[in-house]
Amino acid sequence: MGRESALESLEAILVFVVPLIFLIPLYAFGLLTEVSGNYVSYTIYIVCSIALTKYKARSLGEMGLTHKGLLSSLGLSGISVLAPFLRLIFSDLKLSPDVSSSTDVAHGLFYFTFGGFGQEILFRGLILFSFHRWKGWKIALLVSSVLFGLMHVRQGIAGVIGTILIGAYWGGVALKTRNIIGTSIAHGLFNFLFAFLLAS
């Protein structure tokens, strides 16, 4: 059982790393833009995470895709969105000047739905739960949160640290509720509001 869980955790890491190995050179040579690269990477993450889960004869509920624990997941995940909403209300945030067309809005909605779900199914649904079965909740939370932070390295060290912290919170929610739907929605709101719609 331990060896099987270790292998499953290694495979979960490979689902994260292997696409990056192929996508980074495509970015470097200009063959992929940020938008097209995100579509490709999130599609790979969603498809491979679900495929690996099914290959291991696990249900989607074992990666948090279930109605069980949904209300708790929504409530606890919603707490993480309160601070940004309060910042929006009480600060000088305004509509980003980049929002100028229906294409921009569609791109932002992509980040809300596809981006939030794609990252949650990989980092919380696949990596977190596979490491939890192998090494317990502490290692699972550490590994999934650090990898999640490193994926956001383009935001600089402060962005990586902030992403690790919010990833740890969402990981805690996922472990407590055994549900990633709430974290996916909260993640999507973060992406839509602060990566697309609003500017300081």
pLDDT bin (cut points 50, 70, 90) of residue 2 is: confident
Task: Note the pLDDT of residue 90.
Answer: 72
User: Among candidates 198, 136, 195, which has minimal Cα distance to 163?
Assistant: 195
pLDDT digits (tens, 9 = 90+) for 149-175: 999 888 899 989 999 999 999 999 999
Neighbouring-strand partners of residue 95? 198
pLDDT tens across 100-133, in order? 666 667 777 777 778 889 999 999 999 999 999 9
As given in the structure block, the two tokens for residue 124 are 């919380």
Output phi, psi for 75, to 5 deg.
-65, -50
Q: Point out the least confidently predicted range of 33-37, 123-127, 138-142, 191-195.
A: 191-195
pTM for this entry: 0.89
